[in-house]
Structure formats: C-alpha cells, structure tokens
Amino acid sequence: MGEGILNLGLQVVSFNTLPQEDHEIFDLVSELEAAEGKGTTFYSWLNVPSTASIPEIAKAYRKMSMQLHPDKNPDEKDIHKRFARLGVVATILRNPESRKRYDFFYKNGVPKWRGTGYYYSRFRPGLGTVLVFLVILTSGLHLIVQKMNYKRDLERIDRIRQQAKTAAWGPKAIPLEGQRKVKVNLSGEESTVNRWIDLVVEGQNVYMLDPSGNMEILDASAATSPSVYSTWFIALIMSLVHKVIPAKNLVSEQSGAMEDDDASSTVESDSGRSSVQEKENGVKISRPPTTMAGGKRRKGAGKKR
C-alpha cells in the first residue's frame, strides 16, 4: 500500500518536471492527430513499423516528402504545415535519444495531465486574466461562506424560538393564549457567559423587543440570505455607483434650481415691462427728474420757452 502511494507520488512529480523535449512531443502528437486523424502515430504516418531502422525511416521520409512537397500540391490547404511537421517527425525518429522518449509515450500513451509547466507555457495568463480569476475565486468563496453563515443563523433562530416557547409554555409545550414575555440566553444553556434577551411569545410567533418596546418578529427573515450581490466585489462596485449617482443628482438639482431662479427673474422682468407698457398706453407715467452729468438737476428742464 505504502509503495503504491510512493510510486504514484513519484509519477506525479515526474509529470510535473517533464523536460522541454517531451512538451514538444506532446504538441506534435496532438497536431498530428488533429491533421491526419485520431490515432495517427509517427510510425503509421511514415508507413513504417515501430522497429524500423534509421535508414528505413530516412527512406520513408524522402518518399513522403516528395509526396507532400508544397510545389507539387499548390492548391492544398495547410500543405506547408504538413511538410514542416513531417520534417520534425523524421528528425525525432532519426535521433536515438528523442526516439527513445517518443517510444516511451508511444507504448504507454501520452499522459492526460502533462505537468503544470506544460500548461503554463502554452496558456500563460496575463495580469488581467489572473486578476479576473482571483476576483471570481474569492467571490465564489465569499458566497460559500455566506451560505454557511445563513445555515448557521437559521439553526440558531430555530433554537432560540424553541427556548422561548419552552419558557413561555412549559416543558409540555402546550400553546397558551395571549402574550407571554420571557428571557432567553443567547449563549446557550451550556455556555458560561450569559447573554439574555427579552422575547414575547404569542401563539406560534416569537417576537424580539427593541429598547423602545417595539416588537419585531423572529423567524427566518431575520437571517441574512446569501446573494451574489452581497459578495465583496459586486458590493464594492455597487457602493461606488451609489456614491457617484447621488453626486450627479445633486448637481442636476442645483442646475434645476438655478434654472428656476432664472425663469422667475425672467417672469419678473417681463411683468415689469408689461406694467410700463400699460402706463404708457393711458396712465400717467412718473419719470425721474432729468439730471446733468455730475448729479445736478438742470434748471428749467420742465419749463417751456
């Protein structure tokens, strides 16, 4: 049992520390199966057995390279990629060390988990991707904590309600008519710290008493239910939005007040002009005395010569 776990651990470590050459083999195997069909191997593509010698592999490569040469297949799509892939496959099989690594995966299969280094080098995330991932991860954990707290609060509310009914009705829990005020220890009966609260039991309902004497029902609605909008990131965004929107509303209200003042001033000036016009149409108009420059009144300004 211990040896099996040890071997499994060594395999996991070995997969996480695979050399770069193995990563290239993994990529080439995936590309070859995607282009030539699932199950296609280096040997089957060259049409040689897995025991073929290096001269046989070189001969098969020359024959196939003539068939896949881009000059002979100008209209075939991705012919350049296939031709380049053929050269890489032949290079791997003609090198004893790289062929030994490929033969290992050829016989045992390419692992589904190819090591963290392999996936990181091919799907290397940017800073934005990392930040988005962290936000989603922490928000999800926050939501899970909310659900756990909600479940705990419901259990606590149910326990307090049962204690209040027991204190009001007695051990037999036979409902009594009318309201009954009781005290319940929030810390529980087994706790050494006593935190008493005043409750009122009326029928099947249990109420809490606030300092002003008002009664608030104690049921599942008293617990804060979990919500995506209550997670830290969305709550932060909403708080920022609420801070910006009232500021805009205040500016719009001030602008509206200024417009009202301008409108009232315009109305007053219009009413003043209309009263002057009415006086000129048939009512005596009192004009201010004519003055000279310097503020002195001209003599005989109103006399006829």
For the stretch 127-145, pLDDT in tens is 888 899 899 999 999 999 9
Q: How many residues does the chain have?
A: 305
Question: Is the pLDDT assigned to residue 86 strictly greater than 90?
Answer: yes
Residue 226: name the closest of 303, 167, 141, 161 by CA: 141
Cα separation of 218 and 161, whole Å?
Answer: 8
20-36 vs 79-94: helix crossing angle, rounded to 10 = 130
The tokens describing 168, both together, are 């009001």
The tokens describing 205, both together, are 């309902």
Cα separation of 138 and 162, whole Å?
Answer: 36
- What is the residue whose two structure tokens read 């801070």? 243
Question: How large a percentage of the chain has pLDDT more than 70?
Answer: 68
What average pLDDT does this structure show over 115-119?
Answer: 54
Answer yes or no: are the C-beta atoms of 79 and 70 closer than 8 Å: yes
The tokens describing 215, both together, are 């009664």
232-280 vs 127-169: helix crossing angle, rounded to 10 = 90
Answer yes or no: are the C-beta atoms of 10 and 21 closer than 8 Å: no
What average pLDDT does this structure show over 149-155?
Answer: 94
* Single pTM value for the model: 0.47
Answer yes or no: are the C-beta atoms of 81 and 68 closer than 8 Å: no
What average pLDDT does this structure show over 240-258?
Answer: 68
